[in-house]
Amino acid sequence: MNNTQKISFIGAGNMSKAIISGLVDKGYLPTNIMASNPSAGKLDALKDTLGIHTTHNNQEAIDFADVVMLSVKPHLMHSVCAGFTLHNLDTLFVSIAAGLTVKRLREFLPENAHIVRVMPNTPSAIGLGMSGIYATSDITDSQVHLVEQIMQSVGKTVVVKTEDDINTVIAAAGSSPAYFFLIAEVMQRAAIDMGMDKTSARTLVEQAMLGSASLMQKTPELELSQLRAQVTSKGGTTAKAVESLQQDNIDKIFARAMQAAVARAKEMS
């Protein structure tokens, strides 16, 4: 990764910590990174463990950086960003806040600010994140590439074409860890109801989920339906279970859930 760009994080919470750790782990120079936060505890931990610069002054972090990662809670973004002054007009602002559109961000970021939206998800904390990236037309390819590299330090990225696509990213990847946890939870409960102990039930479900996800990643040449067919012998146990899920309209259940997530994202923006 190009190690010369300076990156600041406004807000040193969970997501910033994950990305900063990922960057330093991948060899990014800690002295090219700064984090700003009102309280000292999180900053001291980042400074001591990772060797980055820290400050309580957001403007100092803006002045330090080529790329500013806006990483505070969405409802605080307005008050946090309202007073920023931009000395370097090429500064790139990357908002990871869910639900704040570029139009909304423009209302409180400095005039003519260059803005990219990123939607990461929680597995970023263990380096297995999935982030969608949306860049406005004034953003250069090398700036987009830089944001990709930053987010690839905690997982995979897709660059989407329209801002609406970010809502699909939210439905398919931002919120979906919760769908998978829910599936694991109901399967664990069903196994317990069949007489399995709780720990074994969790191990069975967890390992099957992890193995299936790895299998998907390792065999990109196979359609998902082909992978499913490989586990499904005609008239066998899997066929019966899948038939039951399809009779219960699993397609519609998930389509409706994802549409609900998109509708909520639109309401929030």
Which element (helix H / strand E) includes 147? helix 141-152
For residues 73 and 256, which CB has a smaller minimum distance to ligand NAD in the complex?
A: 73
Candidate residues 5, 54, 58, 167; the one interacting with ligand NAD per rule CB under 6 A: 58
Q: Is 101 in the site for ligand NAD (CB under 6 A)?
A: no
Candidate residues 30, 74, 110, 127; the one interacting with ligand NAD per rule CB under 6 A: 74
Q: Are 100 and 74 in contact (CB under 8 A)?
A: yes
- What Å distances lie between residue 92 and 62, 120, 124, 126, 193, CA to CA? 10, 18, 22, 26, 53
Candidate residues 5, 32, 101, 121; the one interacting with ligand NAD per rule CB under 6 A: 121
92 φ/ψ angles, rounded to the nearest 5 degrees: -105, 125
Q: Is 36 in the site for ligand NAD (CB under 6 A)?
A: yes
Site for ligand NAD in 136-175 (CB under 6 A): 174
CB atoms within 10 A of CB 92: 23
Least gap, CB of 130 to ligand NAD (angstroms): 10
CB atoms within 10 A of CB 25: 12
Q: Are 120 and 15 in contact (CB under 8 A)?
A: yes
Q: Is 105 in the site for ligand NAD (CB under 6 A)?
A: no
For residues 41 and 235, which CB has a smaller minimum distance to ligand NAD in the complex?
A: 41
CA atoms lying within 13 Å on the CB side of residue 4: 0
Q: Is 80 in the site for ligand NAD (CB under 6 A)?
A: yes
For residues 57 and 162, which CB has a smaller minimum distance to ligand NAD in the complex?
A: 57
| CA–CA gap between residue 92 and residue 178 (Å, rounded) | 31
Q: Where are the beta strands (DSSP E) in 40-85?
A: 53-55, 67-70
For residues 13 and 30, which CB has a smaller minimum distance to ligand NAD in the complex?
A: 13
Pick the piece of the chain touching ligand NAD (CB under 6 A) from 36-44, 84-92, 148-156, 226-234.
Answer: 36-44
For residues 166 and 201, which CB has a smaller minimum distance to ligand NAD in the complex?
A: 166
| Contact footprint for ligand NAD (CB under 6 A) | 10-16, 36-39, 42, 58, 71-74, 76, 80, 96-98, 120-122, 174
